Amino acid sequence: MASPTVKLNSGHEMPLVGFGLWKVNNDTCADQVYHAIKEGYRLFDGACDYGNETEAGQGVARAIADGLVKREELFIVSKLWNSFHDAERVEPIARKQLQDWGLEYFDLYIVHFPIALKYVDPAVRYPPGWESENGQLEFSNTPIHETWKAMETLVDAGLARSIGISNFSAQLVMDLLRYARVRPATLQIEHHPYLTQSRLVEYAQKEGLVVTAYSSFGPLSFLELEVKNALNTPPLFEHELIKEIAAKHGRTPAQVLLRWATQRGIAVIPKSNDPKRLQQNLEVTGWDLESSELEKISELDRGLRFNDPLGYGLYVPIF
């Protein structure tokens, strides 16, 4: 089963359901990507910071070599890390990431965070993480408009077919749209019933940006990272409302959470190591929740953000 697609403002089609590569182990990444392609996944959401782009590319290459898929049938996403916001660093790092993937272009290349950090030479440390070469959190003075102008040149050069943003507030999106020659095609944000960000979602969609949700299962992705508010939050999979709706529709709690997003036009990028759940996560578009159920799930909103630099002990108060 393949995911339906949504048309981006760049004119390209993006699958509504993809496979997220965050926290996919290097030793299993190639196999997971290969098997996900075999199951019908066509969108893969990667990033410099995930540290597994070479292995993900190996999985893609094997799937293409085995005739499972053609390159043009895939939608590969990667992200510009904070250390490479200086205008002269954008194209070189994008080219390195393409080389790691074994690709000639990204379907979508995203500014990972609206945070410019001091440059770290990939020869010194890669992926660089949050610290400078001095081992400190050090900011660069590069403003977003300079980074975005460099992002636009990636489209001009054919290195990225679409460009987008992630973890931007509504105010930053408003500012970016004032000067963008190439408009961002997507906005990727943390989005789940405990953090609906309804005003931001509504604004982005009105401006023609496709919203992509990460961490659709709420605290689950952050338990192993020992993020404090995730450890103290009831799992969405075990929430009585989610379980009740899942039982009513003959679906899993995970499918209900993903359908809550996709039914409202929000793309999702879950991952799973379990072959059965891998397939189930794709089956979140061919059936509907009732409007009252969508509303009840949205009412679970508690403003709980789990992916916050402050939660990792980094004083970067962007949210």
Q: pLDDT over 90 for what percent of the chain?
A: 96
For residue 149, pLDDT beyond 90: yes
Among residues 34, 41, 50, 119, the one annotated as catalytic is: 50
- Determine the Cα–Cα distance for residues 307 and 319; give it in Å rounded to an integer: 10
Residue 160 pLDDT: 98
Q: Categorize the per-residue pLDDT at 304 as very low, low, confident or very high, splitting at 50, 70 and 90.
A: very high
Residue 221 pLDDT: 87
Which are the contacts of 135, defined by CB distance < 8 A and separation ≥ 6? none
Domains and CATH numbers, the chain: 13-302 (3.20.20.100)
For residue 1, pLDDT beyond 80: no
- Mean pLDDT of the region 40-68: 98
| Burial bucket for residue 245 (CB in 10 Å: 0-12, 13-18, 19+) | buried
- Mean pLDDT of the region 86-96: 98
| Burial bucket for residue 235 (CB in 10 Å: 0-12, 13-18, 19+) | middle
Q: Categorize the per-residue pLDDT at 274 as very low, low, confident or very high, splitting at 50, 70 and 90.
A: confident
For residue 273, pLDDT beyond 90: no
Which are the contacts of 213, defined by CB distance < 8 A and separation ≥ 6? 188, 189, 190, 191, 192, 261, 266, 267, 268, 269
Residue 181 pLDDT: 98
Kindly report, residue by residue over 218-238, the tens digit of the pLDDT.
999 899 888 999 999 999 999
Is the pTM higher than 0.95?
A: yes
Kindly report, residue by residue over 10-28, the tens digit of the pLDDT.
999 999 999 999 999 999 9
Mean model confidence pLDDT for the chain: 97
Residue 2 pLDDT: 78
Residue 112, annotated as binding a ligand: yes
Phi, psi of 317 (to 5 degrees): -80, 70
Kindly report, residue by residue over 233-259, the tens digit of the pLDDT.
999 999 999 999 999 999 999 999 999
Residue 309 pLDDT: 95
Residue 7: beta bridge partners? 13
Where are the strands (E) in the chain, listed by range? 5-7, 13-15, 19-20, 43-45, 75-80, 108-111, 163-166, 186-190, 210-214, 267-268
Kindly report, residue by residue over 277-303, the tens digit of the pLDDT.
999 999 999 999 999 999 999 999 999
Q: Categorize the per-residue pLDDT at 272 as very low, low, confident or very high, splitting at 50, 70 and 90.
A: confident
Active site residue 179: no
Q: Is the dihedral of CA 211, 225, 82, 45 positive or negative?
A: negative
